[in-house]
Structure 1
Amino acid sequence: MRFQTASVLAAALSLVASSNAIKILLNNDDGFGSGNLRELYRFLKEDGHDVVIVAPAVQQSGQGGRSDFTTYANLTSPAQYGIIPAGAPSLGTDPNDSNIWYYNGTPAACTFVALDFVLPRYYENWEGAPDLLVAGPNYGLNLGPFVYSLSGTLGATYAAVARSIPAIAASATNDAIDYRNITNATNPATWAAKVAYTVVKEFIDNTGEDQTILPLGYGINVNIPELDLDEIPPFVKTRLTGEADVDIAAYNASTGLFTWQNIIPKSAGVNACYNGDCSLPGETYVAEGGSVSISAFTIDYTAPSNAYTDLVFGKVGALFDSGNSTSYKAKRALKSGRRLLQGREVSDL
């Protein structure tokens, strides 16, 4: 009887999980063999979601949003951790799981290959797009607007947001690990994936049936501090700006080479607050203090409507007043072969 009750309960929980199930595309910049990535994949699959990985064949950190597609049909060297041998196709699946794909390109390129080739061709029930893209958890934190533009994890994320796909980036502090070397649940990769899974699950569980996970053009950046226990730290709502770092070129006189270092004191330019709630703490400060930071961003890079923007445009106001802008628009319309709408004046366009 007790066994029967347990079975019924397990079945009920499975139904609950499947009722909230969504289609999730996973990506990263650390490579498709990343322990962090594979553990998050496992958690999401166990929760009943339909999950596909399309991630770089090799480590691709620091690529930002660069979309670089390989010019070779086959791998010229083995894929990450030797999982795929040299000479194999540049796009393919893991030998043990056909829903885990590798591609020999940058993280952003992997997002596009997933959206424009893998999903339409091999996952017709996805109808061409996932409900959510999650990138990471990365090895190493991705904090602040300067790193936002450099991180391949973020690049994979905002590449999806630009294509109208809600996306979440997650980054942690643990070291790289081959997923095959994870033999128990007491390890930093599993802990990091559990925190990322907790954030993703919260977004999913609090989304209405006919609602998208995030509004159009929005993304989320999650940074997970150092973990030494299977215990989830506090979560804090944060900004990308605020106590954020920016690099300098540090010259080594003995080698004649340059490397990067963080500028001290922190740059005011990268931390100027114009958008959102300026009273929120910066994600850099929060993550360094041991809490999980959750920042929302948009890819609308247009400057806000304020006095500073008015002053900027005011410097070239004579150009706008001259009518050149209107004439240019009319010429563009005619040159492209489009007819101006009947009954509309040029000034209305």
Structure 2
Amino acid sequence: MRFSTVSGLVAALSLACASNAARILLNNDDGFGSGNTRELYRLLKEAGHEVVIVAPATQQSGQGGLTEFTTEANLTAPSQYDIVPAGAPSVGTDPNDSNIWYYNGTPAACTFVGLDYVIPRYYKDWKYGPDVFVAGPNFGVNLGPFVFTLSGTIGSTYAAVSRSVPGIAISASNDRIAYSDVKNTSNPATWTAKASFKVVQEFIESTPEGQSVLPLGYGVNVNIPPLDNDEEPPIYQTRLTGEADTDIAAYDEETGLFDWDFALPKPAGVNACWNGDCSLPGETWIVNGGGVSVSLFTVDYDAPTNVYTTDVFGKVSALFEGPKGNGTSAGSKKLKRGLARPIIKRHQ
């Protein structure tokens, strides 16, 4: 089926389908030479989907949603695994596959380069852009709300969701491997790709004609446990919180250096449940038990409407102008008339 991702609620929920193939933009913070990503790319293409990779020229893990564009027109060093030599353009294609693109920037920057440069210029038949954005499978899981803010895999997905493109972030437990080292289909990269493909394909095939894969503002976070063979692991509906970890600064007395470690016991703050179904198992618990977790997130971070939110706002209510909560306060009117404009700075 063909999905469109035109901005706007009507366009996102009432989209024409022309075939059984989806147009998929694939990214990965581990770089465009990732064995995991290349294997998923292969499986998606074999299933008849149109797939374009736009991923970092080098490994860019842990960048979160940082959008950093290169200031150099050419690569100052060879790309990942020496696929592209130093001196090549900062954006270009793999010498062996014109649908695999690299860009010398962060994962989120690659999402935007894919949406605003690669697809409009070189895939003009993708009139409304990709039907689905997929990041990963990452080398290493991204479990829980704390890692959610740090992961380049999720950051690049969040960037796509912010642009009205349905986004699926996938992270796995296998070790890093170059695509050129994947010699057969009996290896963790291929097993991980198969588990990832199953989830992506199910989302696509289960979407009725005329609908978007995901509602506006929705994204998916998938995590895959260690796989020892090609036996399909069980898949569970989960939530981000619940048995989730967060970090501490662990000081080494011998070296005088800090490193991260898990906070024990698990802090209640990172596991507080205010939204969604609090009866669902946490993704951390499911993956630790050998299952694949599928969690949903939205870009709406607003606090829920409850007594706690009312109490918090109440503490500073004396500062607010006009009636509260109706969107027509004196302050709002001033902003609309341009008499009081907030200073907006881009944070990197």
Instruction: Using structure 1 for the length normalisation, give the TM-score.
Output: 0.89
How much has 1:87 moved relative to structure 2?
0.9
Q: How does 1:268-283 map to 2 (within 5 A)?
A: 268-283=268-283
Q: Structure 1 319/37 Cα, relative in aligned 2: closer, same or farther at 3 Å?
A: same
Q: Tell me the residue number matched to 1:12.
A: none
Secondary structure of the residue aligned to 1:195 is: helix
How much has 1:224 moved relative to structure 2?
0.4
Q: Tell me the residue number matched to 1:207.
A: 207
Between 1:329-338 and 1:287-296, the stretch displaced more is 329-338
1:89 and 2:89 aligned: yes
Q: Tell me the residue number matched to 2:162.
A: 162
Q: Tell me the residue number matched to 2:291.
A: 291
Q: Provide the rounded CA distance (Å) in 2 between the counterparts of 1:334 and 1:303.
A: 28
CA deviation profile, 1:86-116 (whole Å, cap 9, x unmatched): 1111100000000000001000000000001
The total of aligned residue pairs comes to 321
Q: How does 1:316-335 map to 2 (within 5 A)?
A: 316-320=316-320, 326-335=329-338
Q: Which has the higher helix share?
A: 1
How much has 1:321 moved relative to structure 2?
5.9
CA deviation profile, 1:189-244 (whole Å, cap 9, x unmatched): 00000000000000001001210000110010110001001111101100000100
Counterpart amino acid of residue 190 in structure 1? T
Q: How does 1:39-188 map to 2 (within 5 A)?
A: 39-188=39-188
1:257 and 2:260 aligned: no
How much has 1:327 moved relative to structure 2?
2.5
- Listed as ranges, the gaps of 5+ residues in structure 2 are 1-17, 342-348
Between 1:322-331 and 1:304-313, the stretch displaced more is 322-331
After the TM superposition, which parts of structure 1 deviate over 6 Å for at least 4 consecutive aligned residues? none
Q: Provide the rounded CA distance (Å) in 2 between the counterparts of 1:223 and 1:321.
A: 45
**2:334–2:340: 8 Å Cα contact kept in structure 1?**
no
**1:26–1:54: 8 Å Cα contact kept in structure 2?**
yes
Q: Tell me the residue number matched to 1:240.
A: 240
**2:321–2:329: 8 Å Cα contact kept in structure 1?**
no
CA deviation profile, 1:140-192 (whole Å, cap 9, x unmatched): 00000100000000001111001100010111111111101111110000000
Q: Structure 1 141/254 Cα, relative in aligned 2: closer, same or farther at 3 Å?
A: same
**2:321–2:330: 8 Å Cα contact kept in structure 1?**
no
Between 1:318-327 and 1:125-134, the stretch displaced more is 318-327
Secondary structure of the residue aligned to 2:295 is: strand
- Listed as ranges, the gaps of 5+ residues in structure 1 are 1-17, 339-349
CA deviation profile, 1:110-152 (whole Å, cap 9, x unmatched): 0000001110011001115100000000000000010000000
Counterpart amino acid of residue 249 in structure 2? A
Q: Tell me the residue number matched to 1:341.
A: none
**1:241–1:283: 8 Å Cα contact kept in structure 2?**
yes
**2:192–2:227: 8 Å Cα contact kept in structure 1?**
yes
Counterpart amino acid of residue 267 in structure 1? P
**2:170–2:223: 8 Å Cα contact kept in structure 1?**
yes
Q: Provide the rounded CA distance (Å) in 2 between the counterparts of 1:37 and 1:191.
A: 12
How much has 1:322 moved relative to structure 2?
5.4
Counterpart amino acid of residue 260 in structure 2? W
CA deviation profile, 1:246-289 (whole Å, cap 9, x unmatched): 11111122222211111010011010000000000000000000
Counterpart amino acid of residue 297 in structure 2? F
Instruction: Using structure 2 for the length normalisation, give the TM-score.
Output: 0.90
Q: How does 1:220-231 map to 2 (within 5 A)?
A: 220-231=220-231
Q: Structure 1 322/165 Cα, relative in aligned 2: closer, same or farther at 3 Å?
A: closer
**1:29–1:60: 8 Å Cα contact kept in structure 2?**
yes
**Percent of aligned pairs with the same residue?**
67
Counterpart amino acid of residue 272 in structure 2? A
**2:241–2:272: 8 Å Cα contact kept in structure 1?**
yes
Q: Provide the rounded CA distance (Å) in 1 between the counterparts of 2:20 and 2:71.
A: 40
Q: Provide the rounded CA distance (Å) in 1 between the counterparts of 2:100 and 2:336.
A: 46
